[in-house]
Chain A
Amino acid sequence: MHPAVQALFVIVIGVGGCVGYFYFSNLFLDKVLYPARGPHAGRNINRANMIRPWLFLMPALVALGLYLAYPVFATAWLSLKGKNGDFVGLANYSQMMSEAKFWESMRNNMLWLIVVPALSTAFGLLAAQLSDRIRWGSIAKSLIFMPMAISFVGASVIWKLIYDTRPEGQAQIGLLNALWLKFDGGIGSLLLLKVLPALFLLSLVAAFAYVGWLLLRPLVTTPRREGVWVMAARALGIALILFFVFELVTWLAGLAGPLPYGTPQTWLTLPYWNSYFLMIVLVWIQTGFAMVILSAALRGVPEDTVEAAIIDGANPFQIFFQIKVPQIMSTIVVVWTTITIVVLKVFDIVLAMTNGQWETQVLANYMYDKLFRSLDWGVGSASAMVIMLLVTPILVWNVYNARKEMR
């Protein structure tokens, strides 16, 4: 049979089967199982109406159960088995825990988890606000959104070219190295690579410190009765900010040291920094997503609350941070958690750019390594379970917020 005819055949069978299932099962329920006649007509109608939703949900439930729920349990079971299929208890987990590469993945994942959602959301919010009122704002938005249309692997290839390195003396095709070689250690380099970044980092530290103080202030000054969750959120925010401040201060200290001017750098092999170079790719992609959602949310902020704030004397920054952002906070949380989930699953970028070498390993790529390269199903499944455990609470929180948003 010709493949096209075969495909058509499958489509007809599939669609016909679905329609037939819904039609005939409904018919069976109404005419045979609980017919709406006889002495118990009323009771039968009620019972049929109780069963009907389950009848219609059945195909979806079966498909989801088969392709989502079953694999979870199968993976959990596999993670308890050894190489020969024998039951080994938690041996796979303890083996995994003793591997340095696993802890490296955990550490990197945490770093990704903090940096990427924070930067994507912040840049997205910035882009949404800045492009809101200008004439070419929609063009800017389309450009920022465009990376969303590129696959992670495609984006990785693009950025690999940017980070590309050629031996000294050859023309550098990598954008970053080409720029890097323009700096010779003179006054211009000093200004652009030391003073300017230092000022930028200092202002960032100051901004973080200010936000941290805003979060901390209600806890120390006015003992107001706040919910446990609000307090927990504040504590989490402060912890995040402490982390950022610590990182930024380390960078500042690093800026003080000498920089290797004049030699092309292999950016992706610089430990610690290379993780950030990979994160930039994901930030580049996710900023567009954050911008689109937050831009819609910002549009939803009632214009007259902004005008009331103008009359109350608020400057643009105060209007943005004290009037607009609080009103779209729930959207920001949804965007943040959605990106967090993407980040926890990050795989393609690492695989395509470094494959976890030079201390850039992440959990998903670690799992892939174990499952399909070492063919160690036990440890691979165990790491899959770890990823799932990490994603689940964030997923629940995300769904909770998204539903709250919709109400």
Chain B
Amino acid sequence: MADLKLVNVEKAYGEVKVLKNINLDIKTGELIVFVGPSGCGKSTLLRMIAGLERITGGEFTIDGALMNDIPPAQRGIAMVFQSYALYPHMTVRDNMAFALKIAKKTAAEISAAVDKAARILQLTPYLDRLPKALSGGQRQRVAIGRAIVRDPKVYLFDEPLSNLDAALRVATRIEIAQLKENMPDSTMIYVTHDQVEAMTLASRIVVLAGGGIAQVGSPLELYERPENEFVAQFIGSPSMNLLAGEITGTGAITTVKLDNGGTARSTVPTTDADKGLRVNIGVRPEDLTAATADSLFTGEVEITEALGEVTLLYFKRATAEGAQLVAKLPGIHTGLRKTTVSLTALPEKVHLFANGKSLLYR
């Protein structure tokens, strides 16, 4: 049982606040993923929860107990590091047993816990090896085993897969998902910059940007109903297209006259007061379809990328500094390069942003 609560948590190095106004409520059994561009403070936030970095403002509680000044070992957390951080001079067994030895557990308890963790992670044959005699994936499993033996309330993962190669990364990701499945009561916090990991593992994703939380929500919530342009463009690949325009028709269906001459219709409701409002419409590349009439956008295809299952179309920029539009069409399309294509999207797939914020959340 572990409910984590962060209230107005902030982190400052001297005058510089790298994190501020962090408010989060994490329930027992959730797998929360912190995701964001590099330098957004996601690892710092994790290390503050771990107790490796001091919390300079706000309150952090686990099950209602204030944790701000509690040493890491007494917070009931375990952490898996990006670089594994195995003790190189100890065997796998000793690596996993270290925390229990420090906690003065009996030899019988220790060996029972280590054997159990080794069985879960299929490390039993390697217990007497040194870390240097293990492969990257095995080392990662030892690091996870070291967390499991402590039976913590909260597991913290700091980019645990980024040192693995692509194939192993997928396999280990699934292992972590299974691990979570087998331990429904444990709370996990997972930091990554890889949105595929975030989308597949998380029960809720926390998108961090610019020292604060951009949005918290389930993976599909973030995908379907992004709160702002940042989240809209950060989640999904290739990222969402944004087109500037002006609202001309309001109501249950909003009509936007785009600067490029096209017209967009969105199911985001607006009121009469919004008429004439400058907005950006957002459309995901995969939501664009070929248009016959009433197109969103018409342009010349500059580059195509055929991936078999989908074909990516990159359009010529309207102006040199303008954003490049991308469309993702299912199936194989050949001969579109250097041709002019008109595209449209269903109204329910069109997002509206004013000043960077979604008009859905007003």
Contact = CB atoms under 8 A, between A and B. Distances in A.
A309 B78 CA distance: 11
Interface string A276-316: 00000000000000000000000000101101111111100
A401 interface: no
Interface string B127-171: 000000000000000000010001000000000000000000000
A312 B71 CA distance: 11
A329 interface: yes
A311 B72 contact: yes
B52 A310 contact: yes
A310 B73 contact: yes
B52 A311 contact: yes
Contacts of A329: 89
B103 interface: yes
Nearest to A307: B52
Nearest to B149: A312
A159 B71 CA distance: 46
Contacts of A322: 98
Contacts of B102: 312-314, 318
Nearest to A306: B85
Contacts of A313: 72-74, 99, 102-103
A355 interface: no
Contacts of A310: 51-52, 71-73
A312 B85 contact: no
A329 B88 CA distance: 12
A310 B87 CA distance: 12
A311 B87 contact: no
B124 interface: no
A160 B267 CA distance: 94
Contacts of B55: none
A311 B78 contact: yes
A300 to B, nearest CB: 11
The bracket for how many chain B residues form the interface is 20 to 34
A305 B85 contact: yes
Contact of A311 (B73, B88, B89): B73
A323 B89 CA distance: 8
B81 interface: yes
Interface in B67-90: 71-74, 77-79, 81-83, 85-90
Contacts, number: 61
Contacts of B83: 302, 304
A312 B89 contact: no
A94 to B, nearest CB: 49
A307 B84 CA distance: 11
A237 B77 CA distance: 38
Interface residues of A, number: 17
A311 B73 CA distance: 5
Given A318-B102, A326-B89, A327-B89, A308 B73 contact: no
A298 to B, nearest CB: 14
A309 B51 CA distance: 12
B82 to A, nearest CB: 8
Given A312-B150, A318-B102, A305 B73 contact: no
Nearest to A301: B88
Contact of A308 (B71, B74, B77, B87): B87
Nearest to A318: B102
B136 to A, nearest CB: 15
Contacts of B85: 302, 304-305, 307-308
A327 B77 contact: no
Nearest to B143: A308
A329 B89 CA distance: 10
B50 interface: yes
B81 A312 contact: no
A85 B164 CA distance: 73
B73 A327 contact: no
A311 B50 contact: yes
Contacts of A305: 85-88
Interface string A303-346: 01101111111100010001100110100000000000000000
B170 to A, nearest CB: 25
A312 B99 contact: yes
B81 A307 contact: yes
Contacts of A323: 87
A307 B83 CA distance: 12
A101 B77 CA distance: 65
B98 A312 contact: yes
B98 A309 contact: yes
B191 to A, nearest CB: 14
A305 B146 CA distance: 12
Nearest to A314: B102
A227 to B, nearest CB: 14
Q: Which of A308, A314, A318, A322 has the most CB atoms of chain B within a 10 A radius of its CB?
A: A308
Nearest to A222: B107
Interface in B18-76: 50-52, 71-74
Contacts of B150: 312
A318 B72 CA distance: 15
Nearest to B95: A308
Contacts of B146: 308, 312
B77 A311 contact: yes
Given A304-B83, A308-B146, A313-B102, A327 B72 contact: no
Interface in B157-189: none
A356 to B, nearest CB: 44
Contacts of B78: 311
A312 B89 CA distance: 16
Q: Which of A302, A304, A311, A327 has the most CB atoms of chain B within a 10 A radius of its CB?
A: A311
3 A-B pairs closest in CB distance: A313-B73, A312-B99, A304-B85
23 contacts: A304-B81, A305-B85, A305-B86, A307-B79, A307-B81, A307-B85, A308-B87, A310-B73, A311-B51, A311-B73, A311-B77, A311-B99, A312-B102, A312-B150, A313-B72, A313-B99, A313-B102, A314-B98, A314-B102, A323-B87, A326-B87, A326-B90, A329-B89
Given A307-B81, A308-B81, A313-B72, 8 more contacts: A309-B98, A310-B72, A311-B72, A311-B73, A311-B99, A314-B73, A326-B90, A327-B87
